[in-house]
Amino acid sequence: MIERYTLPEMGALWTEEAKFRAWLKVELAVCRARARLGEIPSEEVEELAEKADFTVERIKEVEEETNHDVIAFVTAVSETLAAKGAARVARHFHFGLTSSDVLDTAGALQLREALRLVRGEARALAILLCDMSMNHRGTVMVGRTHGVHAEPTTLGHKLAVWAFEMERNLERLAHAEEVAAAGKISGAVGTYANVDPKVETLTCEELGLKPAPASTQIVQRDRHAEVLSTLAILGSTLEKIALEVRGAQRTEVRELAEPFGRGQKGSSAMPHKKNPILAERLSGMARLLRGYAGVGFEDNALWQERDISHSSAERVVLPDSTTLAHYMLRITRRILEGLRVDEARMRENLNSGGGIVYSGRVLLSLVEAGMGRDEAYAVVQGAAMRAWEGEGGFRELLEEDEEVREKLGGDLDGLFDPSYALRNLEVVFERVEDLKRRLEGD
């Protein structure tokens, strides 16, 4: 992932140095496991652990010749051991292993830590959404379906919907982390031909991983497909939030706006512009996450016990997807923390057309007053269509209808008050409060 979209803590997990350190951690854990089983002397393993080291530069030099990164890594470590007078213990290093024993087990360590970072950001966003939902529980605005005014709602209710979706994302992320945290030390085709299965058990135990119950040369890639799918779903949630901000920031709506900093410029040609660039960035990034999920599906089906068609793709999609998701979560928080809410404009939009959004309430009131539903619908729809065409305000047109006045007593004040839409929403906000307590208790 390019530096522009990489936060430091996530970037540090996916450097070449970090990758090779994870490989070394796995190799040494294998040696310690073999020592515990009495296969090799413990004192030699201690010396190996003390003196084993490498430089990324040397690994790259050897790889130029060998065209094999794991062989280059083992060679570089062995050279370091020899230089430190420990050549005799180098024979224990990478003994009985295949490259993927190291790659996949170390990769699980990196992916687990990356997902933990993502989950931490997701939890912070979920808590923020809970707080904002409670703060805006009474911020009345028009609800829209198909992009068209529907009935009154509140901004707090929208935020509550997102908060509970983020809770589901957190559950998926926790499961993805568990699924990803699988190692294998089972040899060339997973048959333990040259390594005791107990070595795998002890190695994974030290590393905090679960041994794959059965593997080929690799850990099976349905695990990685699940991780990438989870991140893609998370991305779609963040895009949902971004899309709401983008739509509400349009000139003719102007109910919400993402933060616009001092000195910021929206357009090189049009000085008046304030564009939702952060929200649009999130929408573009969500497309990438969905694309990466597709790669995960493709990587699961490999030839027999393994080919390496997945390898090149994973070098890109696993670091990039976690890096992007982490960045997107941080940007979403930035948007929401600086979100500009225009309550006056929300009220203005709610009342546009003279209260058309109250048509459903008027319909039900007419039916309750004894008018047939089809007749009541025709009366209300007729007034609404005339209001849409600019022939007058919806309420005024209804008040001009003699039959409506007769049925409703001529007083429509109670029908054109948005508070009716809020009276039962308290149950949602009680659930939000409970969600926040659960999140803060994790």
CA distance 93 to 293: 35
Q: When comparing pLDDT for 390 and 229, which is higher?
A: 229
Q: In the chain, what are the domains?
A: 3-92 (1.10.275.10), 99-141+149-196+207-259+267-346 (1.20.200.10), 351-411 (1.10.40.30)
Gap between the terminal Cα atoms of the chain:
30
Structure tokens given for 220: 């099976």
User: What local confidence, expressed as pLDDT, does residue 279 receive?
Assistant: 96
CA distance 238 to 282: 7
CA atoms within 13 A on the CB side of 14: 26
Instruction: Please say if 224 is a catalytic residue.
Output: no
Structure tokens given for 319: 């670091």
Q: What is the pLDDT of residues 402-422, one digit of tens each?
A: 888 888 876 778 888 888 878
Instruction: Please say if 272 is a catalytic residue.
Output: no
% of the chain with per-residue pLDDT over 70 = 97
Q: What is the pLDDT of residues 255-265, one digit of tens each?
A: 999 987 666 66
Beta-strand relationship, 210-211 and 182-183 = parallel
CB < 8 Å & 24+ apart, contacts of 172-176: 172/230, 172/233, 172/234, 173/115, 173/118, 173/119, 173/122, 173/230, 173/234, 174/119, 175/226, 175/230, 176/115, 176/226, 176/227, 176/230, 176/231
From the list 146, 268, 272, 312, the catalytic residue is 146
From the list 42, 68, 267, 419, the catalytic residue is 267
Distances (CA, A) of 413 to 222, 237, 322, 396: 59, 39, 53, 12
Where residue 124 falls (left for φ over 0; alpha for ψ -120 to 50; beta otherwise) is alpha
The DSSP bridge partners found for residue 148 are: 145
Amino acid at 81: L
Q: How many CB atoms lie within 10 A of CB 69?
A: 19
Range in 139-153, 206-220, 285-299, 402-416 the model is least confident about: 402-416
Any idea which residue has 């660039």 for tokens? 277
